[in-house]
Amino acid sequence: MDAATYPNPKVIDFLQNKVIPLQLPHNAQPYAADYGIKWTPSLLLIDAGGKEHHRVLGYLPPVELIPSLMLGIGKGCFNQDRFKEALENLEQVISEYAYSSSAPEAVFLKGVASYKSTHQPGHLKEAYNTLQVRYHYSEWSRRAYPYWLLP
């Protein structure tokens, strides 16, 4: 990733403005043991308390790295019940990176975060419908399958 992904201007801008990047050798202790790092590259999004919210294993090109990190930020916000911020990040993945491999999970989590913030089940059904139309091949479409039963 050092040769192709990290030097990309969009990636540089994202890393400088959206996260606090820390690059360590895959065997740096105690981090490798604490986070179960077994392969390189392993990208982890962790919060200030050290809790992991998202993990990517293996190489990602620039067009996939940014939406993956945005998804991770959204997941971190979701896990901390900061649904408004989660929805902003997830919506950005969906609208700006609709063809990325992160988009189906972002649609799923957007439905769940919308439901959790409003308690309106229609958000879950909407996520299912979107997944069926745009990402019917994805595991997230299968995970959302029960939502089609909602009123």
| Other CB atoms within 10 Å distance of the CB of residue 67 | 24
- pLDDT above 80 (res 1): no
Residue 150: its pLDDT value, please?
A: 87
Confidence of residue 60 (pLDDT cuts 50, 70, 90): very high
For the residues 110-133, what does the mean pLDDT come to? 97
Determine if residue 36 is left, alpha or beta; phi over 0 gives left, psi from -120 to 50 gives alpha, anything else beta. left
Report helix angle 62-79 to 83-96, nearest 10. 160
Q: Which domains does the chain have, with CATH numbers?
A: 9-149 (1.25.40)
pTM of the model: 0.93
